[in-house]
Structures are given as C-alpha cells and as structure tokens.
C-alpha cells in the first residue's frame, strides 16, 4: 500500500496516476478488476481519468455504470463520499484500488474497498491532502508507514509531499496560490501539508476594520442575491447580497427573527426588493410555503467544508488591499455570529467529525449557502484558487 500525502498541487495524484496505469498495463489482457474511488465521480474524472487519458493517449471514458476497460482489464469508478456509497462496490474481487483524496471518502467505503482487494498481490494507492491530526487515514495508515507483514514484505509506505516538491508549477502560480489561501488551518494544510487541527474561530480572518462597510444601497445594476436559513425556535435568517463588477460580494441587509411564521418572513422579504436568485436550506415544506408566498428558492449547496473554505477564501485580502467579501454595518446579527462561530472542540483527542459548533451558526449558514452558489465551479478542495488562475 502506497500513500502520497501532503500539500495541494504537489504532484501526489500525477504520481499515483502513473503507478496505477503502469500496473494495469503490466497486467494486460488478464481481465482483472481494479477500483478507483474519489470524493465524487466528477472528481475522479477531473483528477485521474482525464489526466491518464491525456498523458498516455488511452480512452478512459466511463459508461453509465462507472466502468471502463483498459488494456484488457476492468476499471470500476465510485464516488465514495456517502455512508451508503460502498454498496456499489460489494461483491467483486479486485487486484488493486486507487483512492483519490481518501480523507474525503466515507469510512464505510474505505472498509469495503479493503475487503474487495483480495486478489493475489493486490495493490493499493492513496493520495490525500492533510486533514485533522486524529483522522483515521493519518493514525491508522500514514503513521504505520514502514510496517511489514509477517513474511517480511512491506505493508504500508507513505511519502510526504510539500509544494516545493513539484518543480513544474510556475513560480507566479505558486505565489498566487499562497496569497489566495486563507492563513491559519487552511494554509497549514494546503500549502505546508501539515495535519493540523481546526481550532477556535472558524473565520479567524474576519476583521471589522477590513470587512465591514457603512450601510449603503447597492447600485441598481449590481446583481442582487438572497440566502435563507430556516428556523422557528432558532432564528429564521435571510441575507441580501450584491455583487460588484469585480465580483466582490457585499452582504448589505439581513432579516433575522425567531418565533415567526413563514408568512411574516415572506412579507419582510418582499419589502426589500427583487433579486436574481435565492438559495435556501433544504427543508421541503418550508421552501414550498415560501414559494406559495411568492419567494421561490433553489436548494443550497450543503457541502460543509467546501462552503467554509470558499467563505474564508473570500475574506483573504487581495493584492489591491481589499477582500472579496464585505458586510454592511447594519447586519448586526451576521456580524455578531462572525465573532462567535467556532470549530467543535476535539474531546480528549478523540476523532470527531470536523465541523463548526452548532450554535451561533444561523447567519453563518446563510453566508455559506450564498458564497457556495456564487463560487460554484471553482474546483474541488485540492484545487484551491486554481480555477480562477486558469490552471
């Protein structure tokens, strides 16, 4: 089992692509089964299949079942991010498994893939960016690098990558990547390749001096959007955002109220003018009620860690001295939550799901939904800032 772990864009995936491909090629015509897992089928295509096709001039187009043939062997691809994803993998005997970005995959899928790799001399290749230090990928595998089987053969070998290990990245790209990565936990992991914990304030970067502007009415030709987080006992939140010509987002108004019915919220929302789109939390009943009151919504992108990272990236001050997210001073609840939103503390060093503490998170969810939709298509977790740089 070979594990490539460390900084983003450091060459981990490119190396595993070569190792995987040469193994399949070396077994030409044997009809063996190989598994490729990734966060989603889309990320497998982006990170692995397209790159193999380009580098080796082979066809890696997957059929509807996520399968294709390569050199007379069968390759099965699975997005492994959900608790029940593993069900698609059960039953087969595999001679190899390539896990791309394994910390983003569900533990059930990881367990099932190990069970599948019962073919003789089966090989496993993993790559991953760092996560929290108690992550099972770190404690159960990376930390056991060098361990041998009873017959003396090496069981696990892991390699650590830093950004400097990849000489193919243009210096300007590396400089931009560093400048666009939020300082603190995200920077330690993505750039330095360190397995550090998420602690304290989620948006430690948020600074009233930098991110707060005087209340204002956005010019009529800026795009206006809304994001809604439902609540009755907890507050119902609606945030209004306006996007300027440089793509900078100004959250200029909020409606934040507990204990009221949808009808009242809808009236309040109508008072504040028209928008291009509204994203909302997924509650079907409440979205239907809002729709009936003339506030149609789109279901928000709910991927937590990606959403948090997108917001943090917008808080980073750009070379011109300004961030890409501003909050207007009248949004008092939103501003308060920015100062109270913390990561769930790690208890007794025990591995926990890495998420913010579920308190003071109502307006925070709204910001996350708004930014996730605005910044959709800017690539996956390992591509921090890559898309807008054209890479």
Residue ranges in contact with ligand ADP by CB under 6 A: 8-14, 127, 161, 166, 168-169, 382
- Neighbouring C-alpha atoms within 13 Å toward the C-beta of 235: 19
Closest CA to 242 of 260, 227, 229, 225: 225
Comparison of 48 and 266: residue with beta carbon closer to ligand ADP: 48
Comparison of 305 and 340: residue with beta carbon closer to ligand ADP: 305
Dihedral of alpha carbons 281, 286, 288, 293, sign: negative
Site for Mg ion in 9-48 (CB under 5 A): 13
- Neighbouring C-beta atoms of residue 54, cutoff 10 Å: 11
Comparison of 13 and 23: residue with beta carbon closer to Mg ion: 13
Comparison of 166 and 291: residue with beta carbon closer to ligand ADP: 166
Least separation in angstroms between residue 100's CB and Mg ion is: 7
Least separation in angstroms between residue 385's CB and ligand ADP is: 12
**328 scored as a contact of Mg ion (CB under 5 A):** no
Q: Pick from ligand ADP, Mg ion, none: which does 103 bind, CB < 5 to 8 A by kind?
A: none
Site for Mg ion in 358-387 (CB under 5 A): 382
User: Which residue carries 């691809």 as its tokens?
Assistant: 77
Least separation in angstroms between residue 383's CB and Mg ion is: 9
Q: Pick from Mg ion, ligand ADP, none: which does 231 bind, CB < 5 to 8 A by kind?
A: none
Strand 212-213 to 249-257 pairing: unpaired
Q: What are phi and psi of 289, to 5 degrees?
A: -65, -45
Comparison of 73 and 382: residue with beta carbon closer to Mg ion: 382
Q: Pick from ligand ADP, Mg ion, none: which does 250 bind, CB < 5 to 8 A by kind?
A: none
Q: Given the rule CB under 5 A, which residues bind Mg ion?
A: 13, 382
């Amino acid at each position: 089992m070979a594990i490539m772990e460390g900084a983003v864009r450091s060459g981990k995936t490119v190396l595993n692509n070569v190792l995987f491909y040469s193994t399949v090629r070396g077994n030409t015509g044997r009809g063996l089964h190989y598994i490729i897992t990734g966060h989603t089928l889309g990320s497998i295509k982006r990170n692995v299949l397209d790159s193999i096709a380009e580098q080796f001039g082979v066809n890696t187009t997957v059929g509807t079942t996520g399968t294709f043939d390569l050199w007379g062997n069968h390759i099965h691809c699975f997005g492994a991010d959900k608790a029940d994803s593993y069900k698609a993998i059960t039953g087969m005997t595999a001679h190899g498994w390539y896990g791309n970005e394994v910390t983003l995959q569900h533990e059930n899928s990881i367990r099932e893939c190990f069970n599948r790799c019962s073919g003789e001399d089966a090989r496993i290749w993993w790559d991953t960016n760092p996560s929290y230090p108690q992550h099972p990928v770190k404690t159960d595998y990376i930390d056991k690098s060098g361990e041998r089987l009873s017959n003396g053969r090496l069981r696990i070998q892991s390699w650590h990558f830093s950004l400097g290990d990849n000489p193919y990245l243009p210096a300007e790209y590396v400089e931009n990547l560093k400048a666009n990565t939020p300082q603190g936990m995200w920077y330690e992991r993505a750039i330095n390749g360190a397995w550090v914990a998420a602690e304290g304030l989620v948006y430690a970067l948020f600074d009233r001096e930098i991110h707060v502007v005087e209340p204002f009415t956005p010019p009529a030709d800026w795009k206006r959007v809304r994001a809604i987080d439902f609540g009755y006992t907890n507050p119902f939140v609606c945030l209004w955002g306006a996007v300027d010509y440089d793509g900078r987002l100004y959250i200029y108004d909020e409606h934040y109220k507990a204990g009221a019915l949808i009808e009242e919220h809808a009236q309040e929302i109508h008072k504040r003018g028209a928008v291009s789109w509204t994203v909302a939390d997924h509650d079907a009943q409440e979205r239907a009620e809002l729709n009936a009151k003339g506030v149609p919504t789109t279901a928000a992108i709910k991927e937590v860690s990606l959403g948090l990272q997108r917001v943090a990236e917008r808080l980073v001050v750009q070379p011109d001295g300004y961030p890409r997210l501003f909050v207007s001073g009248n949004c008092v609840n939103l501003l308060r939550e920015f100062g109270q939103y913390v990561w769930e503390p790690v208890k007794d060093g025990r591995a926990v799901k890495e998420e913010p503490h579920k308190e003071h998170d109502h307006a925070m969810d709204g910001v996350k939904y708004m930014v996730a939709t605005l910044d959709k298509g800017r690539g996956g977790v390992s591509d921090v800032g890559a898309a807008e740089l054209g890479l």
